[in-house]
Structure 1
């Protein structure tokens, strides 16, 4: 399992000790929570009495009352810490991995408690769902959201199959934007930092009368690359993004609320090609570069990702206890990108690609809030299409394989979740969701002689063997229950036990090669998880110390695992296994201490033990599945994660100066199910710090934030295509180096 090196192990233990120390209140005890948490680095939005309000169960509740292991991070705290995007959440949340995938700057890889999706190809479903204001984002392209116009982010761990449905088998990340309100507000923020980083963000809310308001936010992110493409001279690991949101809200009474919102993100950052980790031992052009951020990719630097969406939300109070809610949304995205898997000027293993997706969703909810009964029932519908095409160019053989396809999905669901107060201390909550997915998949795969196929511009390519050409349909149905029991001896202390089931929908392998694996035309089955959890959430020492503790045990079945192997003459063969069975268990601890208005601290600890009990796959071209569980490991699942931060503040020049150092540690982890020493990442630690001055009226802020201050080097992804005809293509992708950013912010 974990192979933490000695230095990283010492850092891990030191971080755990720091977590314990910083979570112990030691200062004055007469500060109220509402005063003290102004500068708490991870404190989300709160009510006047200091309660943290979340919507994990589709209704507003105090965080302590919710029997779900979850983290809540405010948008302001992410901005103050210099977080570039939502991948920074993994530095603040136990047992979570969020990383940027290959190719583009904005494709998301997400794992929680060992469950997720690494392959961002169209048609594959995520294991950790992303929501923007209760709207499900089905595809990982364009899902690396930047931090602007966001009130808070809620990270729900464990299966959320009842209230959120399919593909929340590992959890859900909810990106909650700010409501406009009925007062004029404006905000402008400018940041300049390392590698000529320039971020410009502006937001405005304009009320029109007492019940109507319009608002908008626009952000421009520009940064030079951490490295260079030594073949083309272009920036590598750069950023070039423009994003905007526009919304209108109408609230004629306290019981009626309507919101229409639109967003668009355009990412023209250069493609991420990665860097070679090993030479092929023959030709010097295949040697690794001096800098891990450099590349010699010769395929080019064209990359464009565009996503946009429109949503309409309505809430109508039918009575004092009954509310009707409707959420309608449309989203679409398009990606043009190139990936040079050999990292040389030659087309040894090149992949030009395009992705298209669109989705329409409609959700209807009926919420009830009584003295002893609270709950929600609803209906959900999704109509989606995911399609794309790519060439696999194997230049040393002068061959190309074109792969293209489309998956149409219609998903229907009915759900209900009800909580009942048996007494003032005991509560029971139960829910059930029925989901039906209808999928139609079309896959085409053909060999060509020549560099690139006609689809990607080579009209002279000679067509060869059609390897895959089929259209097939399948339906998947699943019941996903949830039940929990809570005991609250007092209002701010909750002990709970829960059970929940989640499932990820089945589908069709868009890379499937019917010559190598004829059964690919049948598709693959859903995966499921049964998760049991014991937890405690509480406030102690006059609400100066908050502790969330959870232990979980999960039975994981039929996990979908994508395996790609070199294969002549088509280049790469791919197939999806429903791997078998696995047991996952672990612990999550989060603490927040606020002993005074001048000091606060947070700490978290995550432990995950994920072990395959059965892993059936075909080996060496055999036709009988073989159990290789002893040789397989979970990917993107460090055994330990530790995060700790502290904030010291002081009154200065009519405002408040606050200093926040933070450390995050991750034990070693594997990139894929098959251990690959050249790719797998050893344990590492990241040190961040921020210094912010805020005026007494909150209108002005001047800040500086440093991230990865020790300038550590750590891989966040990689690929392994060994062999002579692929140029021994073992490449890695790396997290950002040390960066320092200064910010000026003005609020009206």
Structure 2
């Protein structure tokens, strides 16, 4: 951005559109808003001021329709946050967005560095190489295929847009719940830059910056970098709280605690270079290369009893570590075919590598358990050709073709002792699991009158998923796979992977060679080869009515998520959603009010669970659901120095049809009986809430600008409330206590919401100082002021007296952030 000039009268620009320095200070203060619908966004224009200098709400431009439109004139439920808003609220990646956008829940980084995104109750609990998100993440128009890759993107952005509801026509992949659009900063024609430095609790150190370097009048580059580290907020202890006689301690397997390892820490680096080249008056090429690295240890399992007492600690007897890298190339070639028609070719290519060791018991569960991603290589590529008119007449249209492919090679090992491991090592080797997707789409809007418009869209998608050579192996004679646990290297892997006959060998014999296995070798229990094709036609129909500063709309749209392939060569059917929505967007001088009401009919839901009989994750189309909700977003410019932001959502997301063979440990699920009154072994989960779907979410923020001769001070306070959240379909109202403490078996029952997160509130404080002289600012902040500890997931292995062990968001933290612009 350009300089913040001392007299506050010069202008800065966002993507070339002017914003006064005074306005930008207001925008800074506003960015504490918990979901910044009205904060300075992708394109923000300064509204005219009244004679008494009363502040007006910004005019916001978005790209939710794959073209630039006014937020208040776009009939879609969408929220917008700028890079300033992300920084002020310490939103470093997609996982931090929860609570800042209505009906959005993003689970934290877990034991496979994965994320799970839910919008309006729609998402997926399977982020592995077999599953796809129900909410698509797009960066500069390119789909981010792997959940882990979506973590890398929150730096030097223009804005983040969250589209709520199915996006089944204009966007490329699996958008049954919605889409998250990230737009990176592009270089302009002038030299400019910025830098940010943050210091905080837990030895947090963060530095980021960007600079635009024009080469010629037609060619410029922008270089951006980000790095952050801290020591983590979980302590590694060397005394196993389970005791020494349970038979699964680190001592008895030849390991000791790893006390020097940082836990729940941050260690990330990222860099991006973007070039914009005006090849001709009607031809423009934008290309970027981005690299990201994460070596933090996330998703540490904690004992809720210890957490309630303010002790955040874990007994780690596995050599845990993470090495995750992504490299992404994105390119957009834009050509004006004529004065009224533009064509864009959008290309994306990504490589993801991950290796990781996770201690899955954390000294909490009554067993030793370790998970290892020996390797994950995911390669993806996408091509899209989009054509649309640009004349701004009564008829606007967009059409295109899309192709996407991805392939993952992964080996994941389990070692340990427990109910499902049974003292046997397990390994899952998938050398080629992939997807090929192709689609054609079109969407058009026609203005029936000056006020009334009709939109229709359609997309045809054809997906092919496959597993080539995948094998599961277990029944290891020594009980473990990893040699330093007492196992042996699996010398028969290549035999299994090259098995072309498909013939089953007798028990105890190598399936390929037909000879007896020797000590230290494991048996291949499942062949996962499969190929499955599905297709779907999704559509959108919508009416909108614009009356001065008020817009009303009604729409019906569908979404589609392709089926899941799984171990054993099994497949599921796709899942489908149909959404009915009405909404309004209104500006009343210094107040903005946006409302939406919706109903979603969700069919053929794919649910994942571990089947102990066959010892594998099983995916099935087992459920249907109905989701009803209301959302409200309000911005109020108070007087000549204040701003109040409020957002709220009500969500009633319940299963209407769900029969399963497990009712969980609670007493709330109906056990089904046959005509003779005998138990069938099945349970009816109809009426249960969908996971990650709180009934109420409310957030509010208030800031006020105080002007002094030394500069401007802008204090802010923000708060959010999230209702009860269930992490499991069973919605258990109790769990059993069955863990060990100092060699003593704990027993009993815990009631409430032991496998979820109870309703909670969080409060953040901050203040930004803008000096009278100088192109810099300083920001002081306290996050989670009341030190509220909240879980994003739980494990059902062992209950404690305070519920199930879980993975927690960070406790109270504080810090200072310096910003400079040149």
- Structure 1 residue 60 and structure 2 residue 57: aligned? no
Instruction: Tell me, in whole angstroms, the C-alpha distance in 1 between the residues paired with 2:483 and 2:552.
Output: 59
Aligned to 1:633: 689
Q: 1:316 Cα deviation (Å)?
A: 1.5
In 1: Cα distance, 2:483 partner to 2:334 partner? 47
Look up the SS of the partner of 1:79 in the other structure: helix
Q: Which residue of 2 aligns with 1:338?
A: 357
In 2: Cα distance, 1:59 partner to 1:402 partner: 47
Pick closer, same or farther for the CA change 1:729–1:80 going to 2, 3 Å. Answer: closer
Deviation at 1:300, TM superposition (A): 1.8
Would you say 1:293 and 2:289 are equivalent positions? no
Return 334-343 or 189-198, whichever deviates more.
Answer: 334-343
- Whole-angstrom distance in 2 between the partners of 1:737 and 1:383: 40
Cα 1:380–1:624, aligned 2, differ >3 Å: closer, same or farther?
farther
Provide the residue aligned with 2:424 in structure 1. 399
Structure number with bigger Rg: 2
CA offset at residue 144 of structure 1?
2.1
Equivalent position to 2:769, from 693, 711, 718 = 693
Moved more, 256-265 or 137-146: 137-146
Q: Secondary structure at the match of 1:716?
A: strand
How many angstroms does 1:248 deviate by?
A: 0.9
Note if 1:593 corresponds to 2:636: yes
- Over 3 Å counting, the alpha-carbon distance change for 1:67 and 1:698 in structure 2 is farther
Other-structure match for 1:320: 339
Match status 1:459 vs 2:459: no
CA contact (8 A) 2:202 2:231 kept: yes
Tell me how far apart the structure 2 counterparts of residues 504 and 598 of structure 1 sit (CA, whole Å): 47
- Find the counterpart in structure 2 of residue 375 from structure 1: 397
For the residue of structure 1 that corresponds to 2:338, the secondary structure is coil
Q: Return the match for 1:557 from 603, 613, 616.
A: 603
1:435 and 1:696, CA in 2 relative to 1: closer, same or farther beyond 3 A? farther
3-state SS of paired residue (1:52): strand
TM-score scaled by length of structure 1: 0.87
Q: Which residue of 1 aligns with 2:250?
A: none
Residues in 1 aligned to 2:448 and 2:92: alpha-carbon distance in whole angstroms: 45
1:306 and 2:313 matched: no
After superposition, give the CA deviation of every residue in 1:472-507 in whole Å (9 maximum; x if it has no partner).
Answer: 1110100010011001112x2110000110011112
How far did 1:159 drift?
Answer: 0.4
The answer to whether the 8 Å contact 1:293/1:734 transfers is no
Q: Distance in 1 between matches of 2:805 and 2:341?
A: 56
Provide closer, same or farther for how the CA distance between residues 53 and 696 of structure 1 changes in structure 2, counting only shifts above 3 A.
farther
Three-state SS of the structure 2 residue aligned to 1:78 is helix
* Matching residue of 2:98: 90
Is contact 1:122-1:355 (8 Å) kept? no
Distance 1:697 1:360, change over 3 A: farther
Counterpart in the other structure of 2:198: 191
- Cα distance in 1, alignment partners of residues 467 and 661 from structure 2: 23
Give secondary structure in 1 for the equivalent of 2:151: coil
Which residue in the other structure is 2:371 paired with? Answer: 351
Residues 194 and 34 from structure 1, CA distance in 2 versus in 1: closer, same or farther, beyond 3 angstroms? closer
- Are the counterparts in 1 of residues 140 and 330 from structure 2 also a CA contact under 8 Å? no
Runs of 5+ unmatched residues, structure 1: 1-31, 279-286, 515-520
Task: Describe the superposition over 1:250-298 as per-residue Cα deviations: whole angstroms up to 9, x where unpaired.
Answer: 12556432111011110011243312348xxxxxxxx999656321121
Determine the C-alpha separation between the residues in 2 that align with 1:456 and 1:87: 35
2:208 paired with 1:181:
no
- 1:625-704 map, 5 Å: 628-630=684-686, 632-653=688-709, 655-676=711-732, 677-695=753-771, 699-704=775-780
Structure 2 CA distance, aligned partners of 1:628 and 1:164?
A: 36
The residue aligned with 1:479 is 537
Classify the secondary structure of the residue corresponding to 2:526: strand
Q: 1:653 to 1:246 in 2, by over 3 A?
A: farther
Alpha-carbon shift at residue 633 of structure 1 (Å): 3.2
- Identify the residue that residue 29 of structure 2 maps to in structure 1: 39
Whether 1:746 aligns to 2:820 is: yes
Give the Cα–Cα distance (whole angstroms) in 2 for the partners of residues 395 and 611 of structure 1: 36
1:330-372 deviations in whole A, cap 9, x for unaligned?
0111111122222239972221113221100011100113310
1:103 CA displacement: 2.1
SS at match of 1:399: coil
Q: What's the C-alpha RMSD, in Å, of the aligned pairs? A: 2.7
Q: Secondary structure at the match of 1:635?
A: coil
2:447 is aligned to 421
Distance 1:701 1:253 in 2: 39
TM-score for both structures, normalised by structure 2: 0.80
Any idea what SS the aligned residue of 2:460 has?
A: strand
The equivalent residue for 1:526 is: 574
